[in-house]
Chains A and B, each alone.
Chain A
Amino acid sequence: MHVENLTLAYGADAPVVTGLTLEVPAGQLTAVVGPNGSGKSTLLRGMSRLLPPQSGQVLLDGQDIHTLPARELARKLGVLPQGPVTPEGITAAELVSRGRHPHRGLFGRLTAEDDAAIEEALAAVELTELRERPVDQLSGGQRQRVWIAMVLAQGTPHLLLDEPTTYLDLAHAVDVMNVVHAAAHTSGRTVVAVLHDLTLAAQYADHLVVMGQGRIAAEGRPVDVLTAELLHDVFGLQATVVEVGGAPVVVPDRRLVG
């Protein structure tokens, strides 16, 4: 996946992302981080055709995503938007089965292949036993994993996830990140996730993209990118970066008053 000189804006407002170029490493987990309003979620919307670009293009296997038919794109690129709304009463298995939509014919019932993809996705997020449970009765972390299973069942070689761990406590966030990491490394997908938590992003990402003011401020391996200097320049944060197990951990400096 390749982003070429992409400029994104909402309506006539000032651009949120300006002239951004990004080569997404294939078969790896790329995390996009940045301060609030830096344009990271907007970038993901632009990469997923939810937001048409003002200029530039997004190439998927060399083809502009805006020239691909909707269904064909949906078989190549799965997208999980931020905070999806779960319809009342839908069961986990039904929600996951919706991911098969782009593969089914006009009157298509679920095929054996569809069933296999649904089972595999439920197993990947470790929710096979809860398949008949209404999703709105699951915990926040389980609910988010059902949604991820939905995009996994879509069976696309490329995945875009917008803040999949937001509002989750650390244990649930780690569960979700394990699934996201496995989607890249076990199944060979190219995954791009917008993340809020810098340390979590650095622990899991192969490639880290730091955004600031609609541009890429830095990108590369997390150990190389996430430095105290960058945190100061991009996030306005005084912090110490320590390394644990080969990945950087951000420890904010305290400024105690009184």
Chain B
Amino acid sequence: MKSRTIVLSIAFAVLAVLVALVSLSIGTTKLPVADVVEVLLGGGRRGTRLVVLELRLPRVATGLLVGIAFAVSGALLQTLSRNPLASPDIVGVNSGASAGAVAVIVLAGSGGGNISGAAAKVGIPLAAVLGGLLATLIVGALSIQRGVVDAGRVVLIGVGIAAAANSLVAWLLVIGDVNDAGRAAAWLAGSLNARAWSDAIPVLVAVVLLLPVAMSFNRDLSALVLGDDVASSLGVRVARIRLALLIVATVLAALATAGAGPIAFVALVAPQIAQRLTRMERPPLLTTAMLGALFVVLADLLARNGLQWLQVGPYELPVGVVTAACGAPYLLHLIGRQQKGR
């Protein structure tokens, strides 16, 4: 790893932790950051502990973790397809995962109350992973031409699959009970509101297990950016590695989606910015992960408090609205650059 990459990774990680601390201190009861730190180190008063550890930390932790998961997923898909537009939110992985999760919320929902128990804890993440994998499988299969995945087709077909999955979601919302549908719609905007530890844990497991797996393929990815033919003549088993990393990327994005909804543009933007700042020829995984975490906690801090700070009123926005507001202009910029390149 180059020193520039290491420095930026550490910088983003430190910033993410700082923003997380600020986020933990702000709320109905404002706490000094020092108290928050004391609680996190195992001390503090009981009331403070309850507020920080049970009410606020699950949300912040979920934010950090889904930021990492989305960003790494985007970095992997962009590298594998050699296309900066190929991220799970563009090529249908998040939409497939959403369709799976919404199906559970709507079909297994109890009408009036929250779904609970096994259906919520295991059902939603599992359905999201299945939905995401199904979307990836379809996009992959339809993108194959002459035995190889065509990088250009991945995005076009992915956008089509995303649209199909989104219309499935819309249909589920229409047939569902109005309360379930309302809850599903709020979740679909990408929200960290009222996250519990049960939302964070599947993402935590995915990040802890799969980030090291992805990073163990770092050197193969460095060969893969030179093209499939060159990579395979350098001894990389291209087909096998591509399949393995495709599954890793899909599971990361799907579990992040299950945890916090399909938060838009994190997976698209974080890898590209990390790549530019480190001046590498592909998104560096660790830097991207840390930037993704920073992006989501910062966006969530703004989403929770931005309108209040602007004195518009005590309203909270879903975090996905803020990331989309930042990410959409960047997407247009990317498309503009790609067309100029032709």
Q: State whether B233 touches A98 (Cβ < 8 A).
A: no
Q: Interface centre among B147, B222, B226, by most A CB within 10 Å?
A: B226
Contact of B226 among A70, A71, A84, A154 (CB under 8 A): A84
Q: State whether A99 touches B219 (Cβ < 8 A).
A: no
Chain A residue numbers with a CB within 8 Å of B196 are none
Q: If the complex has contacts A98-B222, A101-B219, A154-B234, are A89 and B147 also in contact, measured as CB distance less than 8 A?
A: no
Q: If the complex has contacts A11-B146, A88-B281, A89-B281, are A48 and B233 also in contact, measured as CB distance less than 8 A?
A: yes
Q: State whether B147 touches A102 (Cβ < 8 A).
A: no
Contact of B223 among A50, A72, A89, A101 (CB under 8 A): A101
Chain A residue numbers with a CB within 8 Å of B233 are 48-50, 74, 77-79, 81
Contact of A102 among B216, B222, B229, B235 (CB under 8 A): B235
Q: Which of A89-116 contact B (CB under 8 A)?
A: 89-90, 94-95, 98-99, 101-102, 104, 106, 108
Q: State whether A70 touches B232 (Cβ < 8 A).
A: yes
A73 to B279, CA, bound (A): 32
Q: Is A85 at the interface (CB under 8 A from chain B)?
A: yes
Q: Which of B252-293 contact A (CB under 8 A)?
A: 279-282
Minimum C-beta distance from A60 to chain B (A) = 13
Q: State whether A81 touches B234 (Cβ < 8 A).
A: no
- Minimum CB distance partner of B240 in chain A: A70
Q: State whether B146 touches A73 (Cβ < 8 A).
A: no
Minimum C-beta distance from A189 to chain B (A) = 15
Contact of A79 among B216, B222, B225, B229 (CB under 8 A): B229
Minimum C-beta distance from B122 to chain A (A) = 34
Q: Is A221 at the interface (CB under 8 A from chain B)?
A: no
Q: Per-residue 0/1 for A141-175: is the Cβ within 8 Å of any B Cβ (1 yes, 0 no)?
A: 00000000010001000000000000000000000
Q: State whether B234 touches A87 (Cβ < 8 A).
A: no
Q: If the complex has contacts A74-B233, A99-B234, A104-B219, are A81 and B279 also in contact, measured as CB distance less than 8 A?
A: no
Q: State whether B281 touches A94 (Cβ < 8 A).
A: yes
Q: State whether A101 touches B227 (Cβ < 8 A).
A: no
Chain B residue numbers with a CB within 8 Å of A101 are 219, 222-223, 234-236
Q: If the complex has contacts A79-B229, A87-B282, are A70 and B147 also in contact, measured as CB distance less than 8 A?
A: no
Q: Which of A47-91 contact B (CB under 8 A)?
A: 48-50, 70-75, 77-81, 84-85, 87-90
Q: If the complex has contacts A78-B233, A81-B233, A154-B234, are A87 and B281 also in contact, measured as CB distance less than 8 A?
A: yes
Chain B residue numbers with a CB within 8 Å of A99 are 234
- Minimum CB distance partner of A83 in chain B: B227
For chain B, which range describes its interface: under 10, 10 to 19, 20 to 34, or 35 or more residues?
A: 20 to 34
Q: Is B4 at the interface (CB under 8 A from chain A)?
A: no
- Minimum CB distance partner of A72 in chain B: B235
- Minimum CB distance partner of B229 in chain A: A81
Chain A residue numbers with a CB within 8 Å of B222 are 98, 101
Chain B residue numbers with a CB within 8 Å of A72 are 235
Chain A residue numbers with a CB within 8 Å of B235 are 70-75, 101-102
Q: State whether B223 touches A98 (Cβ < 8 A).
A: yes
Q: State whether B281 touches A84 (Cβ < 8 A).
A: no
A102 to B235, CA, bound (A): 6
Chain A residue numbers with a CB within 8 Å of B147 are 11
Minimum C-beta distance from A247 to chain B (A) = 30
Q: State whether B281 touches A85 (Cβ < 8 A).
A: no
A154 to B231, CA, bound (A): 12
Q: Which of B134-178 contact A (CB under 8 A)?
A: 146-147
Q: Is B328 at the interface (CB under 8 A from chain A)?
A: no
Chain A residue numbers with a CB within 8 Å of B225 are 87, 90
Q: Is B121 at the interface (CB under 8 A from chain A)?
A: no
Q: If the complex has contacts A10-B146, A70-B237, A101-B236, are A84 and B282 also in contact, measured as CB distance less than 8 A?
A: no
User: Which residues of chain B have a CB within 8 Å of any CB of chain A?
Assistant: 82, 146-147, 216, 219, 222-223, 225-227, 229-230, 232-237, 279-282
> Other CB < 8 Å A-B pairs besides A74-B235, A85-B227, 19 of them?
A11-B147, A48-B233, A50-B232, A50-B233, A70-B235, A71-B235, A79-B229, A79-B233, A81-B233, A84-B227, A85-B82, A85-B226, A87-B225, A87-B226, A87-B282, A89-B280, A90-B281, A101-B222, A104-B219
A-B pairs, 9 with minimum CB distance: A74-B235, A79-B233, A87-B281, A90-B281, A71-B235, A81-B229, A102-B235, A101-B234, A70-B235
User: Which residues of chain A have a CB within 8 Å of any CB of chain B?
Assistant: 10-11, 48-50, 70-75, 77-81, 84-85, 87-90, 94-95, 98-99, 101-102, 104, 106, 108, 150, 154
Q: List 6 A-B contacts (CB under 8 A).
A: A73-B235, A79-B233, A87-B282, A89-B279, A101-B235, A102-B234
